[in-house]
Amino acid sequence: MSYGIVRGMFVSALVLGLVACGDDGDDHPTAPGPNYEGAWDGTTSQELPMSIFVSGNRVSSITFAFATDDCLIKVTGSPSGFSITGTSFSGTSSSQNVNFTVSGTFHTEASASGTFSWTQMFPECSPASGSVSWTAQRR
């Protein structure tokens, strides 16, 4: 008989404990996402320098050097910002007679890679389009 009373009290305490610790409607806090902020430097598949700068979860400036058959071209631009979604970004812009598309993936908070494609229209160079891959490390 005393077993039943103790058992009943245990069940009540367990139920009260679950109610007290129950879901209050607030989701569990999530860990902050990766931080890609800052300057990133690297090289392209043409073994030329490149860099990007990340600010506010956007790629806010880029610098890429690339070679055509008759010119070596360096593009520096501050596009309106290419949003980083998850671990990737991409965007199209123009700067200094060059239309370009850049895309990339952040593999870690210290390593990224992607592609840079261009069409250049400098009068002193033969018209050309091309694409290079790139890898970069965070400074």
How does pLDDT run across 33-89, given as a tens digit for each residue?
Answer: 899 999 999 999 999 999 999 998 999 999 999 999 999 999 988 777 899 999 999
- Rg over alpha carbons for the chain, rounded to the nearest Å, is 27
How does pLDDT run across 89-135, given as a tens digit for each residue?
Answer: 999 998 889 999 999 999 999 999 999 999 999 999 999 999 999 99
For the chain, the farthest-separated pair of C-alpha atoms sits apart, in whole angstroms, at 101
What domains can be seen in the chain, in order of their start residue? Answer: 38-138 (2.40.128)
| pLDDT over 90 at 11, yes or no | no
Report DSSP state, residue 21.
T
Confidence of residue 12 (pLDDT cuts 50, 70, 90): very low
Helix (H) / strand (E) element for 25: namely none
Question: According to the model, what pLDDT value does residue 65 have?
Answer: 97
**Residue 135: count of CB within 10 angstroms of its CB:** 16
